[in-house]
Chain A
Amino acid sequence: MQAKKFIPLVAFAVLAGLLFRGLSIDPTDLPAARLGQPFPDFDQPELKSGRQISVSALAERPALVNVWATWCYSCRVEHPYLLALAEQGVPIYGLNYKDEPVKAREWLSQLGDPYQLNVVDVEGSVGLDLGVYGAPETYVLDATGRIAHRHVGVLDEAVFQRDFSRWFPMVAAAVVAADLKGVQ
């Protein structure tokens, strides 16, 4: 019996411990510390105009901040619904996350643009401050500019009605559904 033959077993034990830890973490959870905090400040270019913007550019509130990228294919699934929400007057700010701005602009011209403006975050630094796990994610910025809610994954009608509608009473379920038909 040699000690080195135990290496695979030990390595697996470490992995299993990690996976066990992973189970108790909900990847869709926002770190509690960030809820209720002001949206982190940044100094980044805007996607279409290219001018430098900071957090004060996200002026219209309450609003959604949507994290997206062209490499993210759930974002494509989500996109028509964002268009429908924008149509209903929900202000949506985009955080174009770890993406190529050229591709992102093409995407918006092809699929339509639901965003008031887009923060370009090529390095992912704004995402890091915000605690972004991946794309798509959607945050609610309340009237005071604080992060009131976070949703990880595709935002759709069901999720919106359940978790988001209290900040956006102007969006009626039936209206969005009807509008979706228009988008298709």
Chain B
Amino acid sequence: MIPELGHVALIIAFVLAIGLAVVPMWGSMRRDVAAMNMAPSLAVGVTVFVAVAFALLAVSFLQDDFSVAVVAANSNSLLPPIFKFSALWGNHEGSLLLWVLILAGWMTAVATFSRGLPLLMVSRVLSVMGMVAVGFLAFSLLTSNPFERLLPNTPLDGNDLNPLLQDPGLIIHPPLLYMGYVGLSVPFAFAIAALMGGRLDASWARWSRPWTNVAWGFLSLGIMLGSWWAYYELGWGGWWFWDPVENASFMPWLMGTALVHSLAVTEKRGVFRSWTVLLAIFAFSLSLLGTFLVRSGVLTSVHAFAADPERGLFILIFLALVVGGSLLLYALRAPSVASRVSYSGVSRESLLMINNLVFIVSTIVVLLGTLFPLIMDAFSLGKYSVGPPYFNAVFVPLMALVMPFMSVGPLSRWREDTTRRWLHELLVPGIGVLVVAIALAFLGSEGFNLWIALAVLLSGWVALGVFKDLWRRITTGAEGALKWRRLTPSFIGMAMAHLGFAAVVLGAVVVSQENQERDLRMAVGDVEALGAYRFELLSLGQQAGPNYLADQAVFEVRRDEKVIAVLVPEKRRYFASGQIMTEAAIDASLWRDLYIALGEPIGEQAWAVRLQYKPMVRWLWLGALMIGLGALVTAFDRRYRSQRSSESAIQRGVAAVAG
């Protein structure tokens, strides 16, 4: 009964979504206030019924209702309850429902926080999001019904959740990632609404900016969690693989990075307007493309959900309608007159233009690498796979290219600036960073390392720009006192994100260059050294988990004869699937991780063991965390709040016209 109720709730949500897609849009064409006013209620209605469907599916999972196909395929009676719950989104059907739930959540957020915006705008924005919801609800109901039953052949127990996914990181990674992915639908909807109204001005940019930043922040956090999970769960210490599915989330992030910066220019200076709209369309299109790549089976990947050409065709048609329709609208309605606002080649606008170009080129590079096998296949030129070497070779220089400008950007002036002023601001501290970079690079294990020198130089340079900007803001025009109050959330968020980016780059380069590893055979009592650390294998044992049996090895790690950690890596065998999983043991700290993973048993009393020393690997995720949180902080800027009250006057104006 419960699954049937869930199915009905999903159908009701679908009908309401159609209402949302049609009625307010029609109202906005006819200036019918009553029809436009229905948008927020319809959005909330969709949310409520999707939430009910989601909750009922969760109940089916928690009650081990194996007559429901997705529960039987992805859960098991022995699974701990928290993983029964997260198993809901460990599969295609359930994760699609999560996708729709989060989309509905964003719609409700827009309906709630945009009361002060012109009704015409809000109703169009919500209506566009409603169209997206219609597409995905139809996708769920027609091709991927999560409530499908296995009757009368109900299995006695379920197949179990893939052990790789039985991990706390996987409980929150998909929801965060989807918050980002789907959140990009908000700036998309604002862009479409603005194109329809022909009003591509600074206020449109101001409205969509906080939404864009928040969505992009969540996307950053989601990607970070995915990378961290891969590091500790896959068992051999890698943190980024350029896998097609990783790329599917990375491309919207790259495009979103360009969008976040381009919106700043459009809001402050009213330039790049068509460009910004196009970026908003692209960013969400890449989200949809990612969904297509992951769920259609056109690319092979470990992450990919079960391939199904029918589903692929559905998403492709949907993709064609949404993206093709938006780009057609863009072609017809984007302002063709160049804006009259001018700026010189040496100005903040130009620097942000460089940011845009670099991130767009990066997106294209990743897109090409991801689709290359498909392209060659489509033209019958053979089957290819593109590995990490391609991505590293093209992506790393692009990031290195953008960093010199990152520190100048925030310090520079809008419209017109001089290189002399930039030199004056940054020359002396810049030389300081250079000296430090060269000195630090000699500290590596094998003498001078050019790559580390470059990474320290570039990251230090970016950090320097942030601190210089900070200093200028709290000291200028003052009688000595430091004016901390002057720091707006916008500035704090930007500073956090830029420092975070510097930390990610530094961590990535140092861990790639200075990583040490040894593959050994170790028996109880053996002591092995790695760098300054000594690892002793104390004992071997077995430990039963709720749904697995683990072989454990207990290691004591010493440095200078002092015990600094006891690490217990495991090799688990999961009962339901018989799958074998490596649980690495990690001693983490800010400056280095010690990482032990078990290989396989050699004889009776020994194991193949991999010991790894990973310097500064944490900086990757701490940096990404700062990027994500920084983006969220910017949304608290008062500028976005005060805007609303002044706009309600316009809303009254529209209402008066319509009435």
Contacts and interface: CB of A to CB of B under 8 A. Distances in A.
Residue among A18, A27, A153 with most chain B CB within 10 A: A27
B387 A133 contact: no
Interface of B: 234-236, 238, 241, 274, 278, 281-282, 285, 292, 296-300, 302, 309, 312-313, 316, 319-320, 323-324, 327-328, 330-332, 334, 336, 371, 373-375, 377-378, 382-385, 387-388, 519, 551, 571, 573, 578, 580, 599-600, 608, 610
B143 to A, nearest CB: 13
Contacts of B285: 12
A90 B319 CA distance: 46
B387 A110 contact: no
Q: Tell me the dominant secondary structure on chain A's binding face.
A: helix
A183 B238 CA distance: 24
B383 A9 contact: no
Given A98-B387, A110-B519, A184 B580 contact: yes
B330 A27 contact: no
Contacts of A135: 385
Interface in A58-85: 71, 73-74, 76-77, 80, 83
Contact of A109 (B316, B387, B519): B519
A73 B300 CA distance: 13
A27 B371 CA distance: 12
Contacts of A22: 296, 298, 374, 377-378
Contacts of B388: 71
Contacts of B313: 23
A1 to B, nearest CB: 7
Contacts of A8: 278, 281-282, 327, 330-331
A180 B580 contact: yes
Interface residues of A, number: 48
A9 B578 contact: no
Interface of A: 1-2, 5-6, 8-9, 12-13, 16, 18-28, 31, 71, 73-74, 76-77, 80, 83, 98, 106, 109-112, 128, 131-135, 152-153, 157, 177, 180-181, 183-184
Contacts of A83: 600
Contact of A16 (B319, B383, B600): B319
Contacts of A20: 316
Nearest to A11: B327
B12 to A, nearest CB: 31
A13 to B, nearest CB: 7
Contact of A19 (B292, B331, B383): B292
Given A157-B578, A184-B571, A134 B600 contact: no
B383 A111 contact: no
Contacts of A6: 331
9 contacts: A9-B324, A18-B375, A31-B383, A106-B519, A110-B519, A110-B610, A132-B383, A133-B384, A183-B580
Contacts of B573: 181, 184
Given A6-B331, A9-B328, A133-B373, A110 B382 contact: no
